[in-house]
Each structure stands twice: as structure tokens, then as C-alpha cells.
């Protein structure tokens, strides 16, 4: 009799609560009969788990908030560096931004502090050669032309601004925070590996769903800040000879060449102390045999010559030890002067005349 009453109560409980989401009440009714109705209890528990699972799949959830973060770190290698300097660029660190339910527009500003060897300076920054404590100067920029220094927040340096757009439905988009590096020429350094670490970056961002915010700190509907890490900046310095600059030899504008016209240019190089070097010049791209010529590009030419001395008596050629300009390295920048002359000659047509000469450094 008690068992029948318990079953009737259990059935009433299930019928009474049919369609009601308050499943724990059904479980309490089903438990009145005690252990003899374990089967009923098991079915009720399974039903509860199934409903919760279905609710997790189909019930509309709250949209995830828009946000940005950095999944990578800054790493830049200059590779092999000589006294002539070098440039390099990095595709990291990265910035990942996530939209909400709708397409989201992000505007970010990237700032980068000094590393652990720069003593707070970013102009220049410095890498260290640990065996000798020698430091190599370098610079980081936000543009490929290397005119916009990348600096810390509040340092008064140009703002590195980037935009990104992520479509709706919690979509993520990743943008590289590309950094452009330069090691300047003319440094006298110990050969070996140089490095600097701990360049921590800071990114401010704002976002909106109707277009890009006014800036990375104002406008839009929200924003935030995140930081980036660094796995290091490094370079391998090789103490060897290198040409750093060769200036143009510009003879200017004239109305005639009834008399000779002279001009000079310079070539700057660096070689380790005691290293013998020889600097050669070829005959140019438009020479006729050994006669150097400038052209207007239309088959007309003006003859000219290059010399090693101010008296313009020693022709400058490309045979080491014969007609080259020779010297010995000092470990610092050295300059060789090119003495040019356009001799008096008839010119068939007015125009702009030019030539390209290749400089060869032998050591």
C-alpha cells in the first residue's frame, strides 16, 4: 500500500510539474518512495542533464565584449653588421582584437620603451657585447622610411597608429605591429654578438561599431590597454671594411662647355686599424672604351673624367695598386675625394646628362 501511494505521488509530481523548468521540484517528488523507485530517479536526473545541455546550445547567450591583446613578442635580428651599418624590420609583436555581435572597428597606438641596455634612451638604443661591455647604437622606427622614432608613452615621439576591423559574431583579427630598425654606420666596435632585451610595449586602443574611433584614446564605444613583450634585439658585428656613403658628383647647370668645368664628390669608408685598402672606380655605364661619358638618354653624350688628385693628373681607374686610391684602415671613418672634370667640348643638344659609376673596395 505504501509503495502504491509513493508511485502515485511520484506520478502526480511529474504531471504537476510538466513543462515547468523547475526540475529540482520533480526530483523531490520522485524521491518520496525511497530506494524502491531508483529507476524513476535515474530517469529524472538524465532528463535534467539533457535539458541543461539543450539550453546551453540553443539559449541565446550574452555577447562577448570587444577586446585586444598581444599573442606574440617583439623579436628583431639585424644579422651581420659592419661599419657600414644595416637596416632590418620585424613583423612582430602581434595585436589580436575580437569583435562583439557586430562588425567592430579598432584603432590602436603602439609605444615601445627602452630595453635593459639603453639606460632609458631610445635615441639611440643600445645592444651590448657582453665579453667586452661594448655597446652598439641602433634605432627603432614605426615607418619603412625610418623617419618616425618609436618611443615610450609620454615621450613626445610620433604616435604609431594602426587600424583593424573584425566582422561580427566574436570574430578575431590579428595585426602585426611592424617595427623597422637601423644600425648607423661609422661605429668602431668589437667583433661578436650584440643583444638587448626587455623592450616592453604598450598599446592603447578604442573600438566602435559605426566606424573607426577618433583616436586610440577617445571616441568609439569602449577601449582598453595591453602590453607586449620582447624576446630580444640582436646583431652580429663583423669588423671588416665597408663603404658607408658615396656622394653624387654634380657638375651643375651651364649654357655652354667652351671651357672645362670641375667638381668634387666624396666616398666614405671604414676599415679595421692596419688593414690595407684599395678603392677603384669603373668607367661608368655609358663609357666608350676607357672614355667616360654622360648621356641624355637619346644617344647624345658629354665626355668627363675622374681623378685621384686635385691637379687632375692621376686618372682614377679600377685596377688595384695601379690606378686605384689606396690607404690603410684606422678603425674610424675615412674619406676619399673624387676630382671630376668635364673638358671643353661641343654639345649637340641641351638636356640633362648623367652616368652611373661603380665603386669597388678591395682589402
In the block, residue with C-alpha cell 661591455: 133
**Residue spans per domain, the chain:** 2-58, 67-237, 242-362
Average pLDDT over residues 302-310: 98
Inter-helix orientation angle 38-58/23-30, to 10°: 170
DSSP string, 96-110: EEE--SS-EEEEEEE
- Angle, helix 23-30 to helix 2-16, in steps of 10 degrees: 170
Closest of 180, 160, 293 to residue 233, by C-alpha: 180
pLDDT at 17: 35
CA dist list (Å): 348 to 289, 296, 326: 21, 11, 38
Question: Over the stretch 85-118, which tens digit does the pLDDT of each residue have?
Answer: 899 988 778 999 999 999 999 999 999 999 999 9
Taking every pair of Cα atoms in the chain, the longest distance, rounded to a whole number of angstroms, is: 135
Which helix (H) or strand (E) covers residue 52, if one does? Answer: helix 38-58
For 70, phi then psi, to 5°, come to: -115, 115
pLDDT digits (tens, 9 = 90+) for 131-177: 999 999 999 999 999 999 999 999 999 999 999 999 999 999 999 99
Q: Domain 242-362, what fold?
A: Immunoglobulin-like (2.60.40)
Does 315 have pLDDT greater than 90?
A: yes
- What's the CATH number of domain 67-237, 1.20.120, 2.60.40, 1.10.3470, 2.60.120? 2.60.40
Amino acid at each position: 500500500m505504501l509503495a502504491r501511494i509513493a508511485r502515485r505521488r511520484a506520478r502526480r509530481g511529474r504531471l504537476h510539474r510538466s513543462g515547468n523548468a523547475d526540475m529540482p521540484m520533480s526530483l523531490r517528488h520522485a524521491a518520496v518512495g525511497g530506494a524502491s523507485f531508483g529507476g524513476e530517479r535515474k530517469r529524472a536526473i538524465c532528463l535534467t542533464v539533457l535539458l541543461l545541455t539543450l539550453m546551453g546550445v540553443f539559449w541565446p547567450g550574452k555577447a562577448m565584449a570587444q577586446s585586444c591583446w598581444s599573442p606574440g613578442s617583439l623579436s628583431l635580428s639585424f644579422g651581420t653588421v659592419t661599419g657600414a651599418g644595416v637596416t632590418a624590420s620585424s613583423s612582430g609583436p602581434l595585436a589580436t582584437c575580437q569583435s562583439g555581435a557586430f562588425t567592430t572597428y579598432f584603432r590602436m597606438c603602439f609605444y615601445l620603451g627602452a630595453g635593459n641596455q639603453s639606460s632609458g634612451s631610445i635615441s639611440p638604443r643600445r645592444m651590448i657585447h657582453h665579453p667586452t661591455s661594448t655597446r652598439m647604437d641602433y634605432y627603432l622606427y614605426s615607418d619603412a622610411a625610418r623617419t618616425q622614432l618609436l618611443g615610450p608613452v609620454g615621450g613626445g615621439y610620433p604616435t604609431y597608429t594602426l587600424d583593424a576591423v573584425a566582422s561580427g559574431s566574436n570574430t578575431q583579427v590579428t595585426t602585426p605591429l611592424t617595427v623597422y630598425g637601423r644600425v648607423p654606420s661609422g661605429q668602431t666596435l668589437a667583433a661578436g654578438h650584440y643583444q638587448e632585451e626587455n623592450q616592453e610595449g604598450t598599446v592603447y586602443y578604442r573600438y566602435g561599431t559605426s566606424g573607426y574611433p577618433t583616436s586610440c584614446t577617445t571616441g568609439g564605444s569602449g577601449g582598453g590597454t595591453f602590453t607586449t613583450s620582447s624576446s630580444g634585439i640582436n646583431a652580429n658585428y663583423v669588423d671588416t671594411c665597408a663603404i658607408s656613403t658615396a656622394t653624387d658628383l654634380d657638375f651643375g647647370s651651364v649654357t655652354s662647355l667652351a671651357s672645362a668645368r670641375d667638381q668634387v664628390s666624396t666616398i666614405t669608408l671604414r676599415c679595421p686599424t692596419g688593414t690595407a685598402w684599395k678603392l677603384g672606380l669603373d668607367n661608368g655605364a655609358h663609357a666608350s672604351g676607357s672614355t667616360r661619358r654622360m648621356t641624355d638618354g637619346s644617344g647624345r653624350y658629354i665626355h668627363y673624367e675622374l681623378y685621384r688628385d686635385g691637379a687632375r693628373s692621376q686618372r682614377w681607374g679600377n685596377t688595384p695598386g695601379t690606378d686605384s686610391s689606396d690607404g690603410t684602415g684606422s678603425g674610424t671613418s675615412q674619406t676619399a675625394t673624387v676630382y671630376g672634370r668635364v673638358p671643353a667640348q661641343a654639345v649637340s643638344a641641351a638636356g640633362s646628362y648623367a652616368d652611373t659609376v661603380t665603386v669597388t673596395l678591395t682589402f
